[in-house]
């Protein structure tokens, strides 16, 4: 698909307005979904350091499998956006429908490894009791894989067609339901049994099912979306669109897994240091994840905005949409960094029970980690938006290689060397994370800046 130069570009103010209008519900959606994880972490923290550490291991074991599947729904976004930009409602439907096919197939394939999560964690050197508790979590939460991925497919569709605020409302409902279910099922309130760590998994599964059903119902029944006939002849294959989802989706999934895998590997290394460092790491990761949801939402908005301009054939507007997203992400990242620098103890303390005998040790260990997280907020934001920009022009394979190099050839070895060889412990591991993210930010945004020279707009 060639993208020619088109008419006079829209003013910068129009790009800022369009990006903010799209990004706000997407950022809110990301924050609401993260609130579910934060709620789980908070309540598991009330069980003590062991329950928190096991919950973190189980959550990340599930998440790294789930996030690869999200790559396929991320592939729906630029394809549907390009079709929407060209005024092709049938093309939007084909992209979303085949995306749901791929997501359903993927969900079925990953059930076996998730069922054996305990064995895998033991093989990776985790303590037997932590592995057992984490495995009990995964064996429940694994049943939410299909609903969770359907949510991401609906998110791609509703973002492209301008109904992201409905998406946000439904995700907020799901986050609220998850919080109530956590309280009931972890601790045994409202007449429910006290299930402990598996209770958090069941709460997540039920909340995801609720959100998926609501989103599918809205996408199917909303009068404003009737022209897309989203689920009409859902059983009918479109092998060309199916192949496009696979072609774009697996590198996106691998890119995201490369980044998430870096953090999961950091969790495993923290586990080698003991339950207290792992619990401290989990809290710092949750706080960093909350801050990261804003640039991640902007990255998704950038994919849609750039993808629509790509479909319209508007090179100048494509460039302005990209620049707008980058500037906004940089400014917001600095606000997140300021919060981490200013209130580290207060933020970490939200996750701790003051009466837990390990609380003071966890707090002391987590503060330096959060200060490192403050330092890498800007590069983390830039790599997230850079990935989104390249997806918007349907460029995924080279960015995947860049991510693999950044996180696994730079970030992970440096994390291990600083954490263990240099003896810096958790702080050294987090410095490695920061260097990996910085490398990715430079490479990904450098590639997008050279898009004309590299022919990324001429396919």
Q: Are 149 and 74 in contact (CB under 8 A)?
A: no
> Measured between alpha carbons, how far is 214 from 176 in angstroms, rounded to an integer?
14
- Report the pLDDT averaged over residues 333-340: 90
What phi-psi label fits residue 229: left (phi over 0), alpha (psi between -120 and 50 degrees) or beta? left
> Measured between alpha carbons, how far is 269 from 223 in angstroms, rounded to an integer?
51
pLDDT score at 251: 92
Q: Is the pLDDT of residue 87 over 80?
A: yes
Q: Is the pLDDT of residue 4 over 70?
A: no
Query: Torsion over CA of 378, 67, 273 and 119, rounded to 10 degrees?
Result: -170
pLDDT score at 286: 80
Q: Is the pLDDT of residue 49 over 90?
A: no
Task: Name the token pair of 293.
Answer: 């949801």
> Measured between alpha carbons, how far is 307 from 22 in angstroms, rounded to an integer?
13
Which range, of 8-17, 47-56, 222-231, 378-387, averages the lowest pLDDT?
A: 47-56
* Percent share of the chain, pLDDT over 90: 33
- Report the pLDDT averaged over residues 308-321: 88
- DSSP track, 307-365: HHHHHHT-HHHHHHHHHHHHHHHHHHHHHHHHHHHH-HHHHHHTT--TTSTTHHHHHHH
pTM: 0.80
Segment 116-154, tens digit of pLDDT: 988 888 887 777 888 888 888 889 989 999 999 999 999
Q: Is the pLDDT of residue 432 over 70?
A: yes
pLDDT score at 198: 84
Q: How confident is the model at residue 186 (pLDDT cuts 50, 70, 90)?
A: confident
Q: Is the pLDDT of residue 46 over 80?
A: no
> Measured between alpha carbons, how far is 332 from 355 in angstroms, rounded to an integer?
35
Q: How confident is the model at residue 458 (pLDDT cuts 50, 70, 90)?
A: low
Query: Torsion over CA of 340, 341, 345 and 349, rounded to 10 degrees?
Result: -10
Segment 436-449, tens digit of pLDDT: 999 999 999 999 99
Q: Is the pLDDT of residue 311 over 50?
A: yes
Query: Torsion over CA of 255, 256, 262 and 267, rounded to 10 degrees?
Result: -160
Q: Is the pLDDT of residue 459 over 50?
A: no
- DSSP track, 369-382: HHHHHHHTHHHHHH
Average pLDDT of the chain?
87
């Amino acid at each position: 698909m060639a993208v020619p130069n088109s008419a006079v570009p829209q003013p910068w103010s129009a790009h800022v307005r369009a990006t903010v209008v799209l990004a706000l519900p997407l950022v809110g959606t990301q924050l609401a979904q993260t609130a579910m994880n934060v709620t789980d972490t908070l309540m598991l923290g009330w069980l003590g350091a062991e329950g928190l550490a096991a919950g973190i291991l189980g959550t990340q074991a599930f998440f790294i499998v789930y996030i690869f599947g999200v790559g396929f729904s991320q592939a729906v976004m630029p394809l549907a956006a390009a079709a929407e930009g060209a005024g092709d409602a049938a093309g939007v439907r084909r992209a979303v429908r085949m995306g749901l096919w791929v997501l359903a197939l993927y969900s079925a394939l990953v059930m076996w490894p998730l069922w054996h999560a305990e064995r895998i964690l033991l093989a990776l050197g985790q303590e037997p009791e932590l592995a057992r508790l984490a495995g009990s979590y995964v064996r429940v939460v694994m049943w939410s894989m299909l609903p969770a991925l359907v949510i991401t497919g609906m998110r791609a569709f509703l973002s492209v067609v301008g109904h992201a605020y409905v998406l946000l409302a439904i995700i907020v409902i799901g986050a609220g339901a998850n919080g109530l279910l956590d309280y009931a099922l972890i601790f045994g309130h409202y007449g429910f049994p006290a299930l402990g760590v598996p209770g958090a998994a069941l709460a997540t599964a039920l909340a995801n099912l609720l959100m998926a059903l609501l989103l599918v119902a809205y996408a199917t029944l909303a009068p404003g979306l009737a022209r897309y006939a989203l689920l009409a002849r859902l059983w009918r294959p479109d092998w060309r669109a199916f192949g496009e989802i696979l072609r774009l989706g697996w590198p996106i999934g691998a890119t995201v897994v490369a980044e998430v895998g870096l953090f999961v590997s950091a969790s495993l290394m923290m586990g080698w240091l003991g339950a207290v460092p792992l619990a401290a790491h989990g809290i710092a990761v949750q706080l960093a994840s909350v801050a990261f949801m804003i640039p991640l939402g902007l990255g998704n908005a950038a994919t849609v905005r750039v993808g629509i301009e790509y479909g319209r054939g508007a090179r100048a507007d494509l460039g302005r949409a990209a620049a707008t997203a980058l500037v906004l992400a940089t400014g917001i990242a600095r606000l997140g960094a300021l919060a981490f620098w200013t209130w580290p103890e207060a933020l970490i303390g939200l996750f701790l029970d003051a009466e837990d005998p390990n609380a003071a040790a966890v707090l002391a260990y987590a503060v330096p980690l959060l200060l490192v997280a403050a330092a890498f907020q800007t590069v983390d934001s830039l790599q997230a938006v850079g990935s989104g920009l390249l997806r918007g022009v349907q460029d995924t394979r080279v960015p995947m290689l860049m991510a693999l190099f950044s996180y696994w050839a730079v970030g992970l070895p440096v994390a291990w060397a600083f954490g263990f060889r240099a003896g810096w412990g958790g702080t050294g591991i987090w410095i490695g994370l920061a260097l990996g993210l910085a490398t990715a930010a430079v490479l990904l945004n450098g590639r997008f800046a050279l898009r004309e020279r590299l022919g990324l707009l001429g396919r």
